[in-house]
Amino acid sequence: MGKRVGMEVAIASAEAAALCRFDVAAVYPITPQSHVAEHLSDIVNDGRVDASFITVASEHSALSAAIGAAGTGARTVTATSSQGLLFMSEILPIASAMRLPIVMLIANRAVSGPINIWNDHSDIMPMRDTGWISFFADNGQEVVDMTIQAFKVGEDRRVMLPVNINMDGFQLTHMVEPIIMPDQEEVDRFLPSYVPYATLHPDKVVSMGTLGMPEIYAEAQKSKDVAIVNSIKVVREVWNEWEKQFGRKYEPIQSYQTEDADVVLVTMGSMGETAEIAVDELRKLGVKAGLLKIKLWRPFPFDELKKAVKGIKVLAVTDRACSFGGPGGPVFSEIRSALYDMPKRPKIVNYIIGLGGRDVQVEDFMEMTRKAAKGKLSEPYVFYGVRG
């Protein structure tokens, strides 16, 4: 049935991993993920899960150790943030190439420089190309649910890919809020034991992490791409199953008041909840505003996006990161690219907001929507709220 409790979201994410009966946690602490690392360590130390906690020397080691563990068939979890994610970035594509279903909790935090420990998405955006499945949580409940769902999706034989769950650093991780924590029995029913495709065991020898000559590398990458593209079917399936068992609905793109909307905001992460209030306030003022919240970032939900934007005149895409020297925010550029071939498509504008923990308020969303409704901005992409 689950129990409604008040819990700090970072703690809740570790509790969710515990419910999944992980075998190995290899984690290196970094603000604002540190409560996740500490609590995973507590859970193992207290014997609440029959697991090992590997105290690694760095994030690079953390993911390396996680790959080793997953290779032996262990259900493996790790967590990081910002510079930590960048430090382990050389290993990210290896985890997906090796088809190991590691689950990683990311407390999204701005990337240096200047040094900033507060929330934005500039850590995960450079990792778009690494072949990991990516979920974005709007609130503590979603963090918990998505952690459990991640194991199920990643371990599915049709997928066999690592999954990361993105939760806004501080904004979510350090927030105490109501969460329905599922029971152990419910989670066991939803998530069976991990049966790996292959394991590193002397009795049945297999080589993992092999060399790929030019004659084979391209085929290997094609194989990986097909795997992650096809995984969206499994994500939808798992989310349907989740709704049946737990009563909470998840979709790759969630629409809010878009049925008759002219101008629609697009968000990813917890600021989407603030944006909902902005939509309500705008509606009261007679503005036909709406909101799309993206929950599945990779594999990119092309079909859901095309369906969601039908009839919409203007899309105001908000990004919490910028692709410097490129077409603007990552979400904006991907949405624009995804819709390019549609004969009828909305005008798309881009606001880069909430960088480095900059607070985004209801009034900000309202102003952005009003400006965007005119369909054009002064620049291709706008750094919203930047002084000067």
Closest Cα partner for 300 from 189, 134, 85, 95?
A: 134
> 202 vs 325, which CB is nearer to another protein?
202
Q: Which is nearer to another protein, 265 or 305 (CB)?
A: 265
The sign one gets for the Cα dihedral 77, 82, 88, 89 is positive
Closer residue to another protein in complex, CB, 32/68:
32
For residue 27, CA distances in Å to 56, 67, 69, 82 come to 7, 12, 12, 14
Shortest distance, CB of residue 364 to another protein, whole angstroms?
Answer: 8
Q: Which of residues 185 and 359 has its CB atom nearest to another protein in the complex?
A: 359
Residue 351 burial class via C-beta count within 10 angstroms: exposed 0-12, middle 13-18, buried 19 and up: buried
Closer residue to another protein, CB minimum distance, 56 or 208:
208
* Three-state SS at 315: strand
At its nearest, how many Å lie between another protein and the CB of residue 325? Answer: 30
Q: What does the alpha-carbon distance between residue 68 and residue 44 come to, in Å, rounded to a whole number?
A: 19
| Coil, helix or strand at residue 337 | helix
* Least gap, CB of 316 to another protein (angstroms): 18
What are the distances in angstroms from CA 152 to CA 53, 68, 198, 213, 345?
21, 20, 17, 33, 35
Smallest separation, CB 227 to another protein (Å): 8
Q: How far is the CB of 176 from another protein (least distance, A)?
A: 4
Q: Give the footprint of another protein on this chain (CB under 8 A).
A: 4-6, 8, 31-32, 97-100, 117-119, 160, 170-171, 174-178, 197-198, 205-208, 210, 212-213, 215-216, 218-220, 222-223, 226-227, 270-271, 273-274, 276-277, 357, 359-362
For another protein, the closer CB: 262 or 280? 280
CB of 100 to another protein, least distance (A): 7
N-term to C-term CA, the chain: 53
